[in-house]
Structure formats: C-alpha cells, structure tokens
Amino acid sequence: MRDPYQVLGVKRGANIGDIKQAYRALAKRYHPDLAPDSSDADNRFKEISQAYGLLSNSDKRADYDRGAIGADGRPTPKGRAETRTQSAASPAASPSRAQTAPRAQTAPRAQPRPRPRPQHQPQKPKPQTTGQDSTSFKIKADEVVNDLFASVKARHKASAPLKGEDQTYTLVVSFEESARGAVRRVKLPDNKRLDVKIPAGVERGQIIRLRGQGGPGQNGGGAGDALIEIDVAPHKHFARKGYDIVVTVPIGVDEAILGAKIMVPTLEGPVAIKVPPHSNTDTILSVPGAGFPQPAEGPTRKLGNLLVMLKVVLPPKEDAGFARMIKKWAAQNPYEVTREFDFSGPTR
C-alpha cells in the first residue's frame, strides 16, 4: 500500500483538521455511490479510507512515523524487534525456594534421564488488525459521514415524485376593482391565459393562489401553484383608510360659512350631502356604506364609510367688493388665527 500521507495528499506534519479536510474531499470524489461510472472508484475509496483510518488514530500514526508499522497497519521488522525487546525486558516471576531441614543420606537412586528441552522459540506477535476493511471501516468523524452521504441521499430522493415550483406574478388592479371585486383575464409568461377572480376588498400585497397553475412537476409529481400578488393603482381622488374611503372635496367660502348641499363622488356615482354652516377646512363628513367591505358577519358583509374631507377655497379671482367686506368685518371682529397655534418646540 502507498504512503498514507501521499494517498491523502498531505504533509507529514499536517494536523488532524487538514487530514480530515483532505479525506472529505477525496471521499466525495471517489465514493462508489457518487462515482458509479468510475471502474477504479471502489479501490481508490478503500485506499483513501485505510489511509484516513491510520492517520486519524494518533497512536497508529506515531507507530507509522517511527517505522513500527507499515502503511497497511501491520508490524514491520523494526516493530517486531521492539516487541521482542520489550518482552525480554520484563522480569519473569521465579518461585522462591522453600527452606527444608536436612535429610539423612540414603543410597543414590537412579535418576531418569532428562529429556532434551526444546529451545525457546520467540512467539510471533499476532498481526494487528487495523479494522479498515471497506465493509467494516467506520469513520470516527460523524460530520464527515453526514456530508458524504447527504449527496447520496439527495440523489435517491431526486427519483421520487416532486411537486413543481410555485411561480409568483404581479397583477395591478384599479382602485374600483380592489373595492368591489372583478374578474381579470391574465396572460402568464408561458402564454397560458387564466381568469383570476379579484375578491372585493383585496389589499395591496395580498396573494391569490391558483393551485396547479405553476411550474410542472417531476417524476410524476403535481404542478406547483401560481401566486398572484395584487398591486392597487392609485386613484385620482380616492384613498383607502382601513375599510373607509377618503376623498377631499373643495367648497366655497359662502358654502363654508352659510352651509350648503353639495355633490360628492362615490364608487357608485355622485351623491348629495349637506355641509353644515360654519364648516372649516379639514371638517370631515361621512357617507355610510360607501367604503370597503368588512369581514363577513352573517350572510351579508358590512361596508365601511366614505369620509368627505372639506377644503375651503377662496374665489379664483380677486374681488374688490369681497375684500372691502372682509376688511370691514375684520375691523369690527378682531380675529387672529395664529393665537391658537402652538409655536413651542425644540430649539436648535
């Protein structure tokens, strides 16, 4: 087997992080499940795994670096010599002689001829098993295993039925359509035409989901959905405030002072409302039931209101008689609006 450092492409002084990173890259490249078309992938992956198993074990790596074991994890002649030296240096336990009293001498008896003792044969150390067979090798670093087989799992998962992707589109509707609802025929980028029902009261940013109208599925999976995001075009006069519609209506000075009946616009057409005498700019009048639909309560939906904000406007042309009248009135009725205004505030 080749030098494990050479197999992993790392230097001898590499730390465990560099070794793990090199193994991860090579394992992803040569794993049989990730490289099924490579005839040499199985042998290369086995060699890479054995090299990583040796270098990731600090004891085995130290033995290899000093030449006690080879790249296959088996003891070298130097390693076997070290084993014999260590065995010889261990003192054998010798039984102590028992002291006995001297016996009377007797006639010598024939002693059996001692059999020749076999010379001591040094016992060969059993080859160390590295446990690095491709069928039983287990990587200690769990994250390496997870990274490696995540790609394999994703490949098998790719063959399962997959739902198509959801596709998002933007549909701009008018203010009137957002308030009262409508049906719009839209054309999607793939030239498919669909009738989209715009619900009454829809708001800007709301999503309408059309199931099965998105991207095609894979491996027999169903199509995705079309997500229609609503955008509401601004109106010339109306603005939305919750479930109410706000509109600003100009009135003349005489209408503001004396009161009057004026026509105001609504989504259903103009209606007449009464302006009370002495009405000022920003006075708000209400037209019930002319706003946006509120959440349903029972069989019918209650509508918000139309809020009419008054704006007092002077005559379009300067009128000398009107000016003299106001001047005479002002002299008789001291009137200064700015007295009611609070100018206090932070100073710079």
pLDDT in tens, 239-264: 999 999 999 999 999 999 999 999 99
Confidence of residue 331 (pLDDT cuts 50, 70, 90): confident
Distance, in Å, from the CA atom of 102 to the CA atom of 207, rounded to the nearest integer, reads 114
Confidence of residue 35 (pLDDT cuts 50, 70, 90): low
pLDDT (0 to 100) of residue 111? 52
CB of 198 closer than 8 Å to CB of 255: no
Whether 1-81+127-159 shares its CATH topology with 238-336 is answered no
Highest mean pLDDT among 34-38, 69-73, 217-221, 277-281: 277-281
CB of 222 closer than 8 Å to CB of 163: yes
Residue 133 has pLDDT above 70, yes or no: no
> Which class is 238-336 in CATH?
mainly beta
Q: Which residue has the higher pLDDT, 150 or 254?
A: 254
pLDDT (0 to 100) of residue 337? 73
Distance, in Å, from the CA atom of 275 to the CA atom of 37, rounded to the nearest integer, reads 87
158-163's contacts with Cβ under 8 Å and 24+ in sequence apart are: 158/219, 159/219, 160/219, 161/217, 161/218, 161/219, 161/220, 161/221, 162/217, 162/218, 162/219, 162/221, 163/217, 163/221, 163/222, 163/223, 163/224
Superfamily of domain 1-81+127-159, CATH level 4: DnaJ domain (1.10.287.110)
Confidence of residue 143 (pLDDT cuts 50, 70, 90): low
Residue 338 to residues 42, 253, 280, 294, 335, Cα–Cα distance (Å): 92, 20, 16, 41, 9
Indicate the domain borders of the chain. 1-81+127-159, 167-232, 238-336
Closest-CA residue to 230 (of 198, 206, 194): 206
Residue 178 has pLDDT above 70, yes or no: yes
Mean pLDDT score of the chain: 80
pLDDT (0 to 100) of residue 87? 75
| 26-30, 103-107, 121-125: least confidently modelled range | 103-107
Q: Which CATH number fits domain 167-232: 1.10.1040.10, 3.90.600.10, 2.60.260.20, 2.60.120.10?
A: 2.60.260.20
Residue 144 has pLDDT above 70, yes or no: no
Confidence of residue 217 (pLDDT cuts 50, 70, 90): confident
Residue 276 has pLDDT above 50, yes or no: yes
pLDDT (0 to 100) of residue 91? 55
Summarize the confidence of residues 294-311 as an average pLDDT.
Answer: 85
List residues bridging with 186 in a β-sheet: 194
